[in-house]
Amino acid sequence: MNTIFLFALLVKHAFCDLYLQFKKVPLDKTRYLGECHLHYFDHAILTFMVSYLFLVPLEYCFLLSGIDYILHWHIDYVKTKIMKLFKIVNSSVVYWLFQTFDQILHYGTYLLLVYIVSRNFLFQDIFEKFISNFF
């Protein structure tokens, strides 16, 4: 089940990153807040739907979609800021290396989501582990 769940998340990712993003007005991902969040919201909603279809408990669906939203936002933001800083153009080899690394990070996000579900993490467990780092 985990393998098929991971594959479904990757298909969802391709659909959001290629088809849905193509249908939107070009988004300025160099702004931390702005219209680019419509793209991240697409990812969150579809991650929620895929998770729900795989009979993931509702609280996990919210957790997974939130993690996908936050990580997708920050991966795209950092990539775009670096590319703008170094004036990397989309016809260069470096651009495609950045795109490749960007996609690897997104795939890693989905591996993390499957890991969370497979380990049956609960909100309380995650919260307690997070808090224990500070106290």
pLDDT at 122: 61
Site of tokens 């909100």: 123
pLDDT at 121: 62
**Token pair recorded at residue 103:** 């996609």
pTM for this model (two decimals): 0.85
Answer yes or no: are the C-beta atoms of 29 and 82 closer than 8 Å. no
Residue type, position 35, single letter: E
Residue-range domain boundaries for the chain: 2-132
Cα(82)–Cα(102) distance, integer angstroms: 12
* Tens digit of pLDDT at every position of the chain (135 positions): 799 999 999 999 999 998 887 766 567 777 778 778 888 999 999 999 999 999 888 988 999 999 999 999 999 999 999 999 999 998 999 999 999 999 999 999 999 999 999 887 665 666 677 677 777
pLDDT at 134: 78
For 59-108, the DSSP string reads HHHHHHHHHHHHHHHHHHHHHHHHHHHTT--TTSHHHHHHHHHHHHHHHH
